[in-house]
Amino acid sequence: MTSDALLNITKEYGSPVYVYDAHKIEAQYNRLTTAFNSVKKLKINYAAKALSNISILKFVNSLGAGLDTVSIQEVKLGLHAGFKAKDIIYTPNGVSLEEIENVTKLGTQINIDNLSILEQFGNKHPNIPVCIRINPHVMAGGNTNISVGHIDSKFGISIHQIPHILRIVENTGMHINGIHMHTGSDILDIDVFLYASEILFETAKNFKDLEFIDFGSGFKVPYKEGDIETNIEEFGEKLTARFKTFCKNYGRDLTLAFEPGKFLVSEAGNFLTKVNVVKQTTSTVFAQIDSGFNHLIRPMLYGSQHEIENISNPKGRERFYSVVGYICETDTFANNRRISEINEGDILAFKNAGAYCYSMSSNYNSRYRPAEVLWYNNKAHLIRKRECFDDLLTNQIDVSLEQKKAIANT
Ligand SMILES: *Cc1c(COP(=O)(O)O)cnc(C)c1O
């Protein structure tokens, strides 16, 4: 998308506003399917939690993707957006047996990630097929916030507990149709991922009626200059070869599934904000924007670096700025970053704002959540209105205690 198109969107819809480029989502989807095009049965399930606007879900559905969900509400959003129940997989963590049962009533594939629920579910519903989430204990990436495969992670059933799983399956007579892992958010090193895959293949051999193996996600996209990006093409080639060997030994062609979130939507997103104040202190120049971690929490939560471009003055002389927000809390987006000269009223574009940005936003400081716009065929489509004052009051029950007291006293 051009800067002019982005600037026009802020003129039409105001700021702050999230903008998603549908063509970029499509290009990423095609890149992934191309990298695995020699796999007979491939299933790409988009991880809804990355960006769950129903227009995005519909668009991703139109590309041929399925949906990866982590809550019954996401399952319902997926169904609402037109996904077939059988094209949705539900991979929760730490939810109640009741929620899992309710999801199976919707016809969706479930994925269980602990022994306790596996046993209870197997006893009650031995005929409903279940996928099992395995924890191969492989570290992907270095940040413990996003590496969920290591030894003390809360996700998945440890590979050291396979004998226990097998005992439950045998005792309950339940039907395991899939094996799953999701090791974390960064496949920095393809070999580490392939190593984890070998563990998954080994595990899969224990189950005779599998229909699919789900490798989760972890595809890395570059956030800042010099960032490593997963080499999808090389990864596709190497994993495909191993998968084919596995299927040959297994005696059947299984479906190879992935659940990318960030890979599909991160780079498609721009978050556009306006500079309210340029504040020079004795040591720093702050650019204070009309947003905060209530709208984009990743920098404060994960230390993520989103590239920031001054699209109002792209050719200006570069200077150092700390970009901060307007909420009453430390909400730093960037520390002493080189950005072309900023004037009050300029529009700053945050890159990589598609994944885990809007979906993690809140009303903190009683601010409205931003509008969302989808860019498609050179046109902007509003896909979510900016919130308004009434939205802040929705669900609140106005209990006027003084009045109650007065009534009680009469
Ligand atoms: C969040 C999540 C994903 C998506 O991860 P990305 O890093 O955004 O690709 C996939 N699978 C599961 C089970 C998840 O919880």
pLDDT digits (tens, 9 = 90+) for 198-218: 999 999 999 999 999 999 998
pLDDT of residue 408: 81
**Which ligand 1 atom sits nearest the alpha carbon of residue 356?**
8
Q: Decide: residue 222, CB within 10 A, 0-12 exposed, 13-18 middle, 19+ buried.
A: middle
Known catalytic residue: 247?
no
Give 167-184 as a DSSP string: HHHHHHT--EEEEE---B
Could you tell me if the CB of 298 is within 6 A of ligand 1?
A: no
Residue 387 to residues 15, 53, 267, 367, Cα–Cα distance (Å): 12, 14, 25, 9
> Domain 269-387 is classified in which CATH homologous superfamily?
Lyase, Ornithine Decarboxylase; Chain A, domain 1 (2.40.37.10)
The rounded Å distance from CA 182 to ligand 1 centre is 7
The rounded Å distance from CA 50 to ligand 1 centre is 8
pLDDT of residue 185: 47
The rounded Å distance from CA 223 to ligand 1 centre is 17
The rounded Å distance from CA 378 to ligand 1 centre is 30
The rounded Å distance from CA 249 to ligand 1 centre is 29
pLDDT of residue 75: 98
Q: Cβ(70)–Cβ(80) under 8 Å?
A: no
Domain residue spans of the chain: 22-265, 269-387
Could you tell me if the CB of 28 is within 6 A of ligand 1?
A: no
pLDDT of residue 231: 87
Kindly report the protein residue whose alpha carbon is nearest to atom 2 of ligand 1: 47
The CA distance from 349 to 346, in Å, is: 10
Model confidence, pTM: 0.94
Kindly report the protein residue whose alpha carbon is nearest to atom 4 of ligand 1: 261
Which of 88, 109, 133, 182 maximizes ligand 1 atoms within 8 Å of its Cβ, making it the mutation to test the pocket? Answer: 182
Kindly report the protein residue whose alpha carbon is nearest to atom 1 of ligand 1: 47
The CA distance from 257 to 404, in Å, is: 58
**Which ligand 1 atom sits nearest the alpha carbon of residue 259?**
10
Could you tell me if the CB of 51 is within 6 A of ligand 1?
A: no
pLDDT of residue 150: 61
> 10-residue block means of pLDDT along the chain (410 residues)?
97 98 98 97 98 98 98 98 98 97 98 98 98 84 50 85 97 98 72 88 96 92 84 93 97 97 97 98 97 98 96 98 96 97 98 98 98 97 98 93 78
Task: Tell me whether the omega of the peptide bond preceding residue 92 falls within 30 degrees of 0, making it cis.
Answer: no
Could you tell me if the CB of 182 is within 6 A of ligand 1?
A: yes
Could you tell me if the CB of 50 is within 6 A of ligand 1?
A: yes
Closest CA to 204 of 155, 256, 240, 148: 256
Q: Count other C-beta atoms under 10 Å from residue 139's C-beta.
A: 19
pLDDT digits (tens, 9 = 90+) for 144-187: 444 455 667 888 999 999 999 999 999 999 999 999 999 764 66
The rounded Å distance from CA 155 to ligand 1 centre is 12
Task: Write down the catalytic residue from 247, 328, 357, 388.
Answer: 328
Could you tell me if the CB of 261 is within 6 A of ligand 1?
A: yes
> Domain 22-265 is classified in which CATH homologous superfamily?
Alanine racemase (3.20.20.10)
Could you tell me if the CB of 91 is within 6 A of ligand 1?
A: yes
